[in-house]
Structure 1
Amino acid sequence: MIIRTRKDEIVCIAQHDHGYLSGEIASKFRTELLGTRDRYEDAIYAAYEHDCSWIGLDDTPIWNDAQQEPYTFMDYPMALKLAFYRKGLDDIETANPYASLLCSKHFASFFHVEEQQDVIVFLQHERQRQQRIREQVVDLSDSTIANHFRMLQFCDDLSLYVCLNEPGVQKAEEFPWYQDGFERTEPFNMESGEQLQAVWLDDRTIRVTPTPFTEPFTAVLSYKVVAKEQIHKSGIASAYKEAERREQVIHVT
């Protein structure tokens, strides 16, 4: 779950809905920045499905007593999260092994030096998955796979940029992760070699500079707004289930 907390309510965005927006972004990406169109559709599929692991977890949100808000992707209990990560990656591999390779690399990148045993086991399993699938993918160079991985990370980040910020927010008040640009996007900037930047022009429009997209496009993000009063009355699971699904329209230029 991705959340934005307001005075009397909490904006809740399911991870798979965020993933759908990531896929919409990927579908407009300029393939010349990837060096080839080979396996581009598989890379788009990876963007759409990369957070399918969260479908079961987000269906019934869990309350974080310490923070007085629902658990999010940032603080969800690790053991349960990793179990669902693996299940999601297994499902993606069944449908599209190459997409699973990209998503596995994406998930593994979340962890660096980590002593927690659950994480060590997860990373070992994913390295084996990546090696197994890489041996099957003989038609792509390492550089192409790296570009697809980089595109997946950027599309995930730009979608998170939408989800974590209030629409139309001023640059100085943005969620801090992307205020200075999107990490690892320098190879996609053919003008200066610097990171791609995003800014809200109004409450519906985002400009990415320089654009990595084939054309301006419009996408839709599904979300729910849950009243804090209702959470106190009936609990987060019931309040979330009863909340009306809404849609945010985003124009990307």
Structure 2
Amino acid sequence: MKPMIIRKHEEGFILIHQHEHAKLSGDICSNMNKELFLNANIPDVVTAVYEHDRSWIRLDPQYQVNPDTHSPYSFQDYPLEEKIIAYTQGLDETEEINKYAGLLCSLHYVSFFDNWSPPESKSFIEKEKQKQVKILAELGHVDRKVIEAHLNILQFCDRLSLYVCLNDPGVPKNKEHEWYREGISHSESINPSGNMPIRTSWMSDYEVQVAGFPFTDEFETWIRYSRVSKEHVDSGVIHAEKIKWEDQRVIFRR
């Protein structure tokens, strides 16, 4: 069963694949001001951002409904044990593609958990921390401040992409998903306008204004989504071949 990024609408749900979210994240990263990368490993960071959702690629080509929420499983409520298996496989594959990208993605995924996380996550966290030590040894000297800056870029691109996915185009600021009403969390170091979070808002059905613009210029990209009716959801399983995809144009403005 595939985990999705999901938002509700009157007739059912909007579904967005995790890999579509990752593509949008990578497009965002490709357009960021190069000085934010501290003149180091720029192609590797871009690779990390494009690949950071690789974990979901191999999951079953169907979409099961969570019986507790009566909506398709999302990346948030996907069963933890299966999610950790997918995380591990995806991170191993990313490391094979690019060691530095593998390091950044491992750091990103470990940050999902804290001291209150379920016991099932402990082994995953420990193995990933061991992997991080191994990769650092293989890479040789890498400035910790550079790694922190690059991880922050990855997480900013992830959050800005999720802003696009979780909010209806054109939504008023006070009706946005609760994560974004006060700006993008932990984005202060990326904001060229000062030590404050970068704030986003939908200007139209396809334009997103970014206050605290960290990009070289305004740019355009696309993301694919599907509208799924409540009737399909009520069936318990939504088969991939029954889903019709549409393209959403997105322009990031100053």
TM-score interval for Structure 1 and Structure 2 normalised by the shorter chain: over 0.9
1:252/1:146 Cα in 2 relative to 1: closer, same or farther (>3 Å)? Answer: same
Q: Which residue of 2 aligns with 1:21?
A: 24
Say if 2:48 is the partner of 1:50: no
Does the residue aligned with 1:25 lie in a helix, a strand or coil? Answer: helix
Q: Which residue of 2 aligns with 1:2?
A: 5
Match of 2:216 among 214, 219, 226: 214
Q: Unpaired segments of 5 or more residues in structure 1?
A: none
- 1:97 Cα deviation from its structure 2 partner: 1.0
Q: Which residue of 1 aligns with 2:15?
A: 12
- 1:34 Cα deviation from its structure 2 partner: 2.4
In structure 1, what is the Cα distance between the partners aligned to 2:60 and 2:34?
33
Q: Unpaired segments of 5 or more residues in structure 2?
A: none
In structure 1, what is the Cα distance between the partners aligned to 2:60 and 2:201?
29
What are the Cα deviations for residues 199-250 of structure 1, in whole angstroms up to 9, with x where unaligned?
1111110111110001100010011111222333x54332x43111111000
Q: Which residue of 2 aligns with 1:109?
A: 111
Q: Which residue of 1 aligns with 2:79?
A: 77
Task: Give 1:229-240 correspondences, 5 Å limit.
Answer: 229-232=231-234, 234-238=235-239, 240=240
In structure 2, what is the Cα distance between the partners aligned to 1:128 and 1:236?
38
Match of 1:30 among 18, 33, 37: 33
Say if 2:90 is the partner of 1:88: yes
Does the residue aligned with 2:251 lie in a helix, a strand or coil? Answer: strand
In structure 2, what is the Cα distance between the partners aligned to 1:230 and 1:62?
11
Give the aligned residue type for 2:105: C
In structure 2, what is the Cα distance between the partners aligned to 1:8 and 1:210?
35
Does the residue aligned with 1:183 lie in a helix, a strand or coil? Answer: coil
Does the residue aligned with 2:196 lie in a helix, a strand or coil? Answer: coil
Say if 2:184 is the partner of 1:182: yes
1:226/1:69 Cα in 2 relative to 1: closer, same or farther (>3 Å)? Answer: same
In structure 1, what is the Cα distance between the partners aligned to 2:64 and 2:117?
26
TM-score normalised by length of structure 2? 0.94
What are the Cα deviations for residues 1-21 of structure 1, in whole angstroms up to 9, with x where unaligned?
111112222111111110010
Does the residue aligned with 1:61 lie in a helix, a strand or coil? Answer: strand
In structure 1, what is the Cα distance between the partners aligned to 2:245 and 2:193?
40
Are the equivalent residues in 2 in contact too, given 1:18–1:160 (CA < 8 A)? yes
In structure 2, what is the Cα distance between the partners aligned to 1:241 and 1:69?
18
What are the Cα deviations for residues 72-97 of structure 1, in whole angstroms up to 9, with x where unaligned?
11111000000000000011111111
In structure 2, what is the Cα distance between the partners aligned to 1:20 and 1:183?
21
Does the residue aligned with 2:225 lie in a helix, a strand or coil? Answer: strand
Q: Which residue of 2 aligns with 1:244?
A: 244
Of all paired residues, the percent bearing the same amino acid is 38
Give the aligned residue type for 1:243: I
What are the Cα deviations for residues 25-82 of structure 1, in whole angstroms up to 9, with x where unaligned?
000011112221x211111111111011112336322210110001111111000000
After superposition, the CA RMSD in angstroms is 1.4
Q: Which residue of 1 aligns with 2:227?
A: 225
TM-score normalised by length of structure 1? 0.95
Does the residue aligned with 1:81 lie in a helix, a strand or coil? Answer: helix
Give the aligned residue type for 1:152: L
Does the residue aligned with 1:220 lie in a helix, a strand or coil? Answer: strand
Task: Give 1:93-242 correspondences, 5 Å limit.
Answer: 93-114=95-116, 116-232=118-234, 234-238=235-239, 240-242=240-242
In structure 1, what is the Cα distance between the partners aligned to 2:211 and 2:173?
14
In structure 2, what is the Cα distance between the partners aligned to 1:34 and 1:185?
14
Higher mean C-alpha deviation, range 190-199 or range 150-159: 190-199
Does the residue aligned with 1:80 lie in a helix, a strand or coil? Answer: helix
